[in-house]
Structure 1
Amino acid sequence: MGAVTGDQTVDQTVVVAVDGGGSKTDAVAVRLDGSVVSRARAGGSSPQIEGLTRSVEVVDALVREVAGVAPLAGVDLFLSGLDFPAEEEAYRQAIADLPWAPGALLDNDLFAVLRAGTSAEAAVAVICGTGINAVGLGHGGTRVRFPAVGAISGDWGGGGGLGSEALWHAARHVDGRGPATALTEGICRVLDVPSVPELIADLHFGRRSQGDLRLLAPEVFRASDAGDAVAGALVDRQADEVAALVTACVRRLDLAGEPFPVVLGGSVLQAGHRRLEDRIAARVHDVAPHAELHHLRVPPVVGAVLRALERAGADGGALARAEAELVGTAHAALVGGVAR
């Protein structure tokens, strides 16, 4: 399985790691020595959003693209929307006949986020991007998971939640049921609509996708920074939701009295909103004073690659090389991300 270059034989065997979310999917092929062979990106692959068939199509195309003709040591898939055992089983059945599927690892994308941020045995990760979800790892491999299927499982927030709530407040501003808010004008500007009532009609009659509302999340933070009380309350609510997920993990894993990393990922949590970050930190430290909060500064696919290499038996040097090639030599000393 080697190719000869001069007097040195290079093992061409690769592992493929895939990180798939609601809006994009990244795939990387890496040799067992940590050298990156190929990487590619496609649209979203969450089976809850795209549907099972489309998700498999996206993932299969990416795996084949980055692997090429190289022999495979393993394929590790970390996908948003795998929140129930039944969803994982359905996905395994859907990929069963694909040539790369035997022995493939299938897990929720939160575990890629977690590994991108830390190699600690006990840790918590929250992702707040299109939606919101969290995972926790305790000593001895104990896991904490959440269904993360929207309001019916107690979830709120992310770009979709913030955007929907912004429109709710704007609608009430326009018809007199609620207070005035700068979000009303901001929504019209961001989504290029003449008025909030016309946007509501477009959504109701299917002329516009509900998914467009996630584009309003940055406007919520802009209005909050400008002093809008309604927008500020939404930012505070988002912070409290993130802290609630961390708190639940802390209590279920009995981590309150010890130091452990909390990895915060996703576009909402990585955008550098001071009010959001300060409130999250305060709420988390109320229940876990030694928790160490880290905003993820590397792509989650880095965690997927590190997990895949570890599963394939690669050594620490290979992990460091893979990370250096994926995110730059500045990160090479931090194997696994920003927190150890």
Structure 2
Amino acid sequence: MPDLVVGVDGGNSKTDLVLADTEGRLLSWVRGPGTRPHTEGMEITAERLASLGRYALAEAGLPRTTPVSVGAYFLANVDQRSQERTALRELTRLGVAERTFVHNDTLAVLRAGAPDGWGVAVVSGAGINAAAVHPGGRSARFLSLGDITGDWGGGLAVARAGMGAAVRAGDGRGPATRLRQELPGHFGLDSVESVALAVSAGDIPVAALHGLAPLVFATAAGGDAVARGIVERLGDEIVAMVTALLRRLRLLRTPTPVVLGGGTLQNDQVLLRDHIGSRLATEAPLALPRVLDVPPVAGALREALLTAGATDVVQHRLREAVAARKPPPSLAEIAETPEDAGAAVRE
């Protein structure tokens, strides 16, 4: 019997889990809530991941107690070695796999997009982070604790900046921008001020502002100077991360893969990609940027397959299967049993 493996990419807004076997069959792909141990605790996060794994087994027509040989978990908001150890301990306690590995989610992008397993990876989804691995094995990352550690970027930051610019345009503190007209309709309101008041009152969750990011990108693509400035700010931050990591690992003079992943980088944002490419050509001319062409969960699956001893042919076959398959619908919450999780999907 072939071994079962699980690859998990846990982001801020969603978690993808793929169940496959070492013969190259993609058995199921399920999607749950994001991994937020910094706000919900690692125990709850691990329990949700374990429930998601049981649901994946049920989706594949297998008993939820079916043993999984290897589980590779690449999780957002697990940014420090101590957090990785805590996550590993909790997942091991729950028996998610016979062998379990935990890394930050940026490394899933690197595993998926860098053929030799080293280089720089940037994840810009709801939030932003980056990490790098030297060909000799050394690594570098950021503390990534938000504003307090100087972090800015990702879809939520773009959306908040767009909202701020739109309000300032209305009260006289900033230049005119079409963001005033483009943003409020997303929430069915007539002004950005109404959106701001609803967020302040708790009627609109702050996390829901993430949905405004595509409107900021579209307004920038339409020629709006203020929106374009926000998009270019994101590009500048990504370039700053990449060049800092290359400098820390002394790779500025080495041709180095730079893999760009996450929702704001993999969604055909031509303006953003062109700005990043132009800046890197000046500041790190030997950097080799590329946009990831598969969902990041493919990198987590590759790690699990490598550990399980799967052949290169199997790894390639499953990468192609992930690339070709449409991502599943997201579960708002993952229940304690696969049956309840299935009901959540139907609802």
TM-score range, shorter chain: 0.7 to 0.9
- Confirm or deny: 8 A CA contact 2:69 2:99 kept in the other structure: no
1:97 to 81, 93, 98: 93
d(CA) in 1 for partners of 2:67, 2:318: 18
* RMSD of Structure 2 on Structure 1 (CA): 1.9
Partner of 2:287: 291
Deviation at 1:38, TM superposition (A): 2.6
Partner of 1:114: 110
| Superposed structure 1 runs of 4+ greater than 6 Å apart | none
- Confirm or deny: 8 A CA contact 1:263 1:293 kept in the other structure: yes
Answering whether residue 28 of structure 2 is matched by residue 38 of structure 1, we say: yes
Which deviates more from structure 2 when the two are superposed, residues 310-319 or residues 294-303? 310-319
The 1:100–1:222 alpha-carbon spacing in structure 2 relative to 1, beyond 3 Å, is: closer
Deviation at 1:328, TM superposition (A): 4.2
Partner of 1:82: 78
Structure 2, unmatched stretches of 5+, are: 58-63, 326-347
SS at match of 2:131: strand
Deviation at 1:51, TM superposition (A): 4.2
d(CA) in 2 for partners of 1:76, 1:42: 16
1:276 to 263, 272, 278: 272
Summarize deviations over 1:192-212 as a string: whole Å, max 9, x none. Answer: 222222222222221211112
Equivalent position amino acid for 1:34 in 2: G
SS at match of 2:77: coil
Equivalent position amino acid for 2:11 in 1: G
Alignment of 1:224-303 (within 5 A): 224-303=220-299
d(CA) in 1 for partners of 2:135, 2:114: 14
d(CA) in 2 for partners of 1:193, 1:114: 40
Answering whether residue 51 of structure 2 is matched by residue 55 of structure 1, we say: no
- Identity of counterpart residues, as a percentage? 38
- Confirm or deny: 8 A CA contact 1:120 1:261 kept in the other structure: no
1:26 to 16, 23, 42: 16
Name which structure has the greater RCO, CA cutoff 8 Å, separation 6+.
Answer: 2
d(CA) in 2 for partners of 1:120, 1:95: 28
Equivalent position amino acid for 2:230 in 1: L
Deviation at 1:147, TM superposition (A): 1.8
State the TM-score, normalized to the length of structure 1: 0.88
- Confirm or deny: 8 A CA contact 1:121 1:141 kept in the other structure: no
- Confirm or deny: 8 A CA contact 1:78 1:111 kept in the other structure: yes
Partner of 1:220: 216
d(CA) in 2 for partners of 1:53, 1:193: 38
Summarize deviations over 1:167-194 as a string: whole Å, max 9, x none. Answer: 1112212222222211111121222222
Partner of 1:182: 178
SS at match of 1:178: coil
Deviation at 1:12, TM superposition (A): 3.7
Partner of 2:146: 150
- Confirm or deny: 8 A CA contact 2:259 2:289 kept in the other structure: yes
Partner of 1:336: none
Between the two proteins, the alignment pairs up a number of residues equal to: 319
Equivalent position amino acid for 1:295 in 2: V
Equivalent position amino acid for 2:16 in 1: D
SS at match of 2:69: strand
SS at match of 1:294: strand
d(CA) in 2 for partners of 1:223, 1:317: 43
Structure 1, unmatched stretches of 5+, are: 1-10, 330-340
Answering whether residue 308 of structure 2 is matched by residue 312 of structure 1, we say: yes
d(CA) in 2 for partners of 1:275, 1:126: 17
Equivalent position amino acid for 2:32 in 1: A
Equivalent position amino acid for 2:36 in 1: S
Deviation at 1:56, TM superposition (A): 1.9
Deviation at 1:150, TM superposition (A): 1.4
Which deviates more from structure 2 when the two are superposed, residues 165-174 or residues 194-203? 194-203
d(CA) in 2 for partners of 1:324, 1:209: 37
